[in-house]
Amino acid sequence: MIDLKRRNRRPLIAMSSMSDIGFLLLIFIMLISLINQRYEEPIEYPEAKLLEKTQEKDNLEIWIEAGGAVSVEGNRVTGEQLELIIAQSLAETPGIRVHVIADKNAPYRHIDSVVKVLQKLQLRVVSFVVKEEL
Amino acid sequence: MIRLPERRKIDDPGSSGALNDLSFILIIFFIVIAGFNINKGFLLTLPDAERPRIVQTDDLVKCRIDAAGTVSIDGNALSVEKLENLLVEKKAKWPNMTFLLIIDEDCAWEHVVRVIHEVRKLRIENFSFKMDGERR
């Protein structure tokens, strides 16, 4: 007689490859974090509820601290230097979007000084960066 | 009696059940990271310094904001809620209304943002701003 009794095998899930995948994930996260690194000045963002996405493909960020210090890409700049940087950026990338990121406690005169430079360079559309109020 | 060779059932050693979870985690991570570096705010058109626009006085709403952040129209101080109501009324009356914000040089940026937020909320297209004491 044929022995038709089936052996009850317990299903096996190989977990050995999971550690490899875990490591790949880790490397991936580390790489992405490095790529996504962004220069930030220590400022307190002003908040608002109704915002729009102002990010473009090419962006230039102008940071204004509460004390009035203006910086671009980590370098403190004067009004003349700022004008030069914006003019150069515009010449290299005509469609560049300028973002003004000012501290919420910064007196308006500091923002106005940057706005004047932008107006002088005929840069009309400017993004004023604000954090979303939760 | 014929003995049939026992068919071996293939175990699934490379079960991909956990891979789905992993890929979802990866997607979530991607979305979260992508959202970090996006600037949000107000996209404003700066007034042309060389060619000032001529606006009818009826269409112009002059709003001042002092160093303490108090908003006033025609010398009357207003709360942001009252400003909103007033602008709704004015916009209904004069759809081409131009809103001019005159900002004190010592006014904190957050107060200015508050007013800009109201203007954007009410979709006032003609919006201009300048620092108090300067000519435009």
Identify the pLDDT of residue A63. Answer: 95
Residue pair B14/A21 in contact (Cβ under 8 Å)? The answer is: no
Question: Which of B43, B107, B112, B134 has the highest number of chain A CBs within 10 A, making it the mutation to test binding with A?
Answer: B43
pLDDT 10s digits, B35-84:
677 888 999 888 777 777 777 777 788 999 999 989 998 888 888 888 88
Output the CA torsion B83→B84→B90→B93 (10° steps).
-160
* CA dist list (Å): A65 to A45, A48, A62, B109, B113: 10, 19, 10, 11, 16
**pLDDT tens string A27-55:** 888 887 777 677 788 899 999 888 888 88
Work out the burial of residue B24: count CB atoms within 10 Å of its CB; fewer than 13 is exposed, 13-18 middle, 19 or more buried. Answer: exposed
Judged by CB atoms closer than 8 Å, whether chains meet at A108 and B44 is answered as no
Q: How far is A112 from chain B (nearest CA, A)?
A: 7
For the stretch A60-90, pLDDT in tens is 999 999 999 999 988 999 999 999 999 999 9
